Amino acid sequence: MSGFPDGFEIDVGGQVFRPLRVQTHTKAGAAVVIPVVYWQTECADCGAVMELFTLLRFRHPRRRCDACAAPGKRVRPAGKRRAA
């Protein structure tokens, strides 16, 4: 149960993020509890299914899997991606 309505998804440049679940995370050495959302999407480069997490504020999500990671390199728009 993700806590989001059925069918909820966020589209970022043609890449769809679907919420899987919401969990709480306690920061080490502090009494602060933070809600964390786990998402499922496909890698923007190779299309592999991947899972990532963000805070409730959905800003700058990871768009590539670990194998395709390219820090600082922009993701091509959905219509201009090359087939693998």
| pTM for this prediction | 0.74
Number of domains comprising the chain: 1
Which pLDDT score, from 0 to 100, does residue 1 have?
55
Please indicate, yes or no, if residue 84 is contained in any of the structural domains: no
Kindly indicate the confidence band of residue 79, based on its pLDDT and cuts at 50, 70 and 90. low
Please indicate, yes or no, if residue 3 is contained in any of the structural domains: no
Q: Tell me which residue of 79, 81, 50, 77 sits closest to 64, measured CA to CA.
A: 50
| pLDDT tens track for 48-60 | 999 999 988 888 7
Please indicate, yes or no, if residue 71 is contained in any of the structural domains: no
| pLDDT tens track for 19-45 | 999 998 887 777 788 889 999 999 988
Question: Domain span at residue 55?
Answer: 10-65
CA–CA separation, 32 and 40 (whole Å) = 26
Higher pLDDT, 83 or 64: 64
Please indicate, yes or no, if residue 2 is contained in any of the structural domains: no
Please indicate, yes or no, if residue 1 is contained in any of the structural domains: no
